[in-house]
Amino acid sequence: MLIYLLKRLLTTVPVMLLVGLFVFSLLFVVPGDPAAMIAGDQASIADIARIRASLGLDRPFPVQFWNWLWRLAHGDLGQSIFSDQPVTMLIGQRVGPTLSLMGMTMLVSVGLAVPMGVIAAWKAGSLIDRFLMALAVLGFSLPVFVVGYMLAYVFALNLDWLPVQGYVPMDDGLWPWLSRLILPSASLGCVYVALIARITRATMLEVLTQDYVRTARAKGLGSASILMIHALKNASVPIVTVIGLGIALLIGGTVVTESVFAIPGLGRLTIDAILHRDYPVIQGVVLLCSGTYVLINLLIDLCYNLLDPRIRY
Amino acid sequence: MALLEVENLQTHFRTPEGVNRAVEGVSFHVEEGETLAIVGESGCGKSVTSMSLMRLIPPSAGRIAGSIRFDGRDLLGLPEREMRSIRGNDISMIFQEPLTSLNPVLTIGYQIGETLRLHQGLSAAEARAKAIEMLTLVGISEPARRIACYPHELSGGMRQRVMIAIALACNPRLLIADEPTTALDVTIQAQILDLMRDLKQRVGAAIVLITHDLGVVAEMAERVMVMYAGRKVEEAPVAQLFKTPRHPYTRGLLGAIPRLGSSLTGRQERLAEIPGQVPSLKNRITGCVFAGRCSQADEICRTIAPGLETKAPGHFAACHQALREEAPS
Ligand SMILES: Nc1ncnc2c1ncn2[C@@H]1O[C@H](COP(=O)(O)OP(=O)(O)OP(=O)(O)O)[C@@H](O)[C@H]1O
Ligand SMILES: [Mg+2]
């Protein structure tokens, strides 16, 4: 198991290098001279030359890439062109809200969707099943921002139960932090609840027709242990896959949610960076997302290992 | 009073094409410690009968009617919770497919111990010790190590031994074995049968044995019930059935001419093929269900359904012709 883990970690190295190369090339594949673009419209030729030299853009590509990697390895992602602050610091400031939002969304989604799917499969064809699956279709078809504005309108503006928008770190108190995450997580989570509930229902339905479920019933087990122990564990591999993919997709979803609810997270940082053509920041964010994605993939694979004894490396 | 008394059992499935009368008015009984074999062609309702005994037919799929009395209690009238305390405890079951009947993601130790914790309230450690004991009983070597194995790490024969261990863990009074050896290869079949015969003597449970294998019937059972198209067509003590089968269908199964002795010794002898088609169970059948395939069928057979009649002490058959044949003697 440990050897497998090390092997898997090693295989992520070339993947991350490739991602790095791609991210770095970003600067070169966009049309025009990066230095001129960075300098802006009013810059003089001298300004551009200075920027070019400071970024090392006058050196050959492999040398530049190597230098960039070297700095990266030391935790240096460069300076923001726009605010002149280190990219790592900018990202560090914004990571908290985004992680809170993503974590909360996934927690709530999985916590809701898996029981929903299990119940729907257990009571397949019944009214409850149809009701839950209709909800899932609804969750699928409504865009995040529509749900977001609707929730904010009802629960924040009309009922005044929750704050309309903003973000407060957890250090300022659990409830202030939590209360500002509920509506964004709910609107962002809709799609995931729908997705995970449907997958759970489908895999559970298949598992429930298996011979070993009949054996479990013949043993005198109750519905709860049959569903949760005998069936769900067998259905878990596809469910975990979708949850993992969901986290990856979530990174995109947070951008919209953060702007709807004015959360100062990575999504906002990315949008601002794109608008300002702040390439070092864009590179940093993309690198972070890719890294997260690779890490999640690794975690999913490890989960397979734990959940299904037939999958052994 | 017999351990199990089944009267007029009817199990009907709702299907898109109409009601499938998979079991239509079957009655039988099993005495304490006795082995009753149920034989018949594929699709005649043997598995459905056994599943009905345990009430394992989901209500959404089909309806069970009639009466099933186990130890004097009417199983069909019990609330589900009480039925659960009987399943796996007083009545347990072995299935045909050892490959798929065990849960692939749980250790066999867990799967054996589960019933013990559920029905006998054993602690995890006690259940583990008992599980090791059960594995030893069914002849699995190194039980303490095997307990941590997953089903895919065991061979087919070993998995069926594990199934038997699960079924016997709570000392059931009735064991239902639905073709326990069909999916195994010949040498393993013999081993499993030896094991079952051995355990039958040791545990003393009554057995309902469903099989295609007449050799198995001859070796294991005291009585045989022959099913056709969801009905019981003949029932007799084993020796008597092999010697003088009364129903033309039974004679067909045994291979037309009763070969005395050979059926009793030839362990691998399978049910013979009978020409013709089993009638659809979705329509009401007038007359004898077997009339369409019976060479002796006449007008009476096609119009009046024969009832089960005593042809000899303990020997029943549902056939108009059988009665006439035996009349002179
Ligand atoms: N869940 C179900 N829904 C509808 N029909 C069913 C269902 N289960 C069984 N049947 C029908 O019941 C009939 C009897 O099936 P059963 O499995 O009892 O046969 P069998 O005698 O055990 O055959 P085999 O020797 O092949 O195991 C078949 O016609 C089958 O199609
Ligand atoms: Mg069957």
Higher pLDDT, B327 or A147: A147
pLDDT of residue A313: 57
CB atoms < 10 A from the CB of A282, how many?
19
Among candidate residues A40, A73, A106, the one where a domain is terminated: A73
Domain-embedded: residue B298: yes
Could you tell me if A38 and A127 lie in one domain?
Answer: no
Q: Cβ contact (<8 Å) for B89 and A211?
A: no
pLDDT of residue B52: 95
pLDDT of residue B162: 93
Residues in chain A closer than 8 A to B88 (CB atoms) = 218-221
Could you tell me if A55 and A157 lie in one domain?
Answer: no
Domain-embedded: residue B45: yes
CB A180, CB A166: distance < 8 Å: yes
pLDDT tens digits for chain A (313 residues)? Answer: 778 788 888 888 888 888 888 888 877 776 666 677 667 777 777 887 877 777 677 777 788 788 878 887 777 777 777 777 888 888 888 888 888 889 999 999 999 999 999 999 999 888 999 999 998 888 888 887 888 888 888 888 888 888 877 787 878 888 888 888 888 888 888 888 999 999 999 999 999 999 999 999 999 999 999 999 999 999 999 999 999 888 888 877 888 888 888 888 888 888 888 888 788 888 888 888 888 888 888 888 888 888 888 876 5
- Beta strands B73-74 and B62-70: pairing type? antiparallel
Q: Determine which of B108-117, B169-178, B237-246, B305-314 has the lowest per-residue pLDDT on average.
A: B305-314
Could you tell me if A294 and A182 lie in one domain?
Answer: yes
Q: Which of B48, B78, B100, B101 to mutate to test the interface with A (most CBs of A within 10 A)?
A: B101
**DSSP secondary structure code for residue B121 in this structure:** -
**Burial class of residue B60 in the structure, from the number of CB atoms within 10 Å of its CB (0-12 exposed, 13-18 middle, 19+ buried):** exposed
**Best substitution site from B13, B23, B63 to test ligand 1's pocket, by max atoms within 8 Å of Cβ?**
B13
- Tally the residues of chain B: 329
Mean pLDDT on B8-12 = 94
Could you tell me if A271 and A146 lie in one domain?
Answer: yes
Domain-embedded: residue B14: yes
Residues in chain A closer than 8 A to B84 (CB atoms) = 220-222
Could you tell me if A104 and A21 lie in one domain?
Answer: no
CATH number of B16's domain: 3.40.50.300
* Cα–ligand 2 centroid distance for A119 (angstroms): 30
Could you tell me if A166 and A240 lie in one domain?
Answer: yes
Domain-embedded: residue A5: no
Please report the atom of ligand 1 found closest to the CA of residue B45. 18
Domain-embedded: residue B157: no
pLDDT of residue B327: 47
Could you tell me if A104 and A217 lie in one domain?
Answer: yes
* B101 close contact with A: CB closer than 8 A: yes
pLDDT of residue B263: 43
Q: How far apart are CA B148 and CA B143, in angstroms?
A: 9
- Which among A207, A286, A301 has a CA at the least distance from the CA of A27? A286
Helix extents (H) in chain A: 2-29, 34-39, 45-55, 61-73, 87-122, 127-141, 144-151, 174-208, 211-218, 223-225, 232-260, 266-275, 279-307
What are the tens digits of pLDDT across the range B231-270?
999 999 999 998 888 898 888 888 743 444 444 444 445 5
pLDDT of residue A271: 86
Helix/strand/coil (H, E, C) string of B248-291?
HHHHHHCCCCCCCCHHHHCCCCECCCCCCCCCCCCCCCCCCCCH
Domain-embedded: residue A208: yes
Higher pLDDT, A207 or B215: A207
Q: How far apart are CA B224 and CA B242, in angstroms?
A: 10
Q: Is B61 in the pocket of ligand 1 (CB under 6 A)?
A: yes
Could you tell me if A236 and A133 lie in one domain?
Answer: yes
* Cα–ligand 2 centroid distance for A109 (angstroms): 42
Domain-embedded: residue A4: no
Averaging pLDDT over each range in A121-135, B175-189, B266-280, B283-297, which range is the top one? A121-135
pLDDT of residue B329: 43
Q: Cβ contact (<8 Å) for B93 and A233?
A: no
pLDDT of residue A111: 93
Please report the atom of ligand 1 found closest to the CA of residue B11. 12
Could you tell me if A41 and A146 lie in one domain?
Answer: no
Quick check: B106 pLDDT over 80?
Answer: yes
Could you tell me if A154 and A235 lie in one domain?
Answer: yes
Q: Determine which of A3-12, B4-13, B266-275, B298-307 has the lowest per-residue pLDDT on average.
A: B266-275
Could you tell me if A46 and A133 lie in one domain?
Answer: no
Q: Cβ contact (<8 Å) for A219 and B87?
A: yes
- Domain count along chain B: 1
Domain around A44: 16-73
Amino acid letter for position A123: K
Domain around B62: 1-90+173-181+206-258+271-328
Domain-embedded: residue A229: yes
Could you tell me if A28 and A122 lie in one domain?
Answer: no
Domain-embedded: residue B191: no
Domain-embedded: residue B321: yes
Domain-embedded: residue A169: yes
- Domain count along chain A: 2
pLDDT of residue B270: 57
CATH number of A210's domain: 1.10.3720.10
ipTM of this predicted complex?
0.85
Instruction: Give the distance from residue A215's alpha carbon to the nearest chain B alpha carbon, in angstroms.
Output: 6
Domain-embedded: residue B151: no
Domain-embedded: residue B113: no
Among candidate residues A7, A41, A73, the one where a domain is terminated: A73
Quick check: B326 pLDDT over 70?
Answer: no
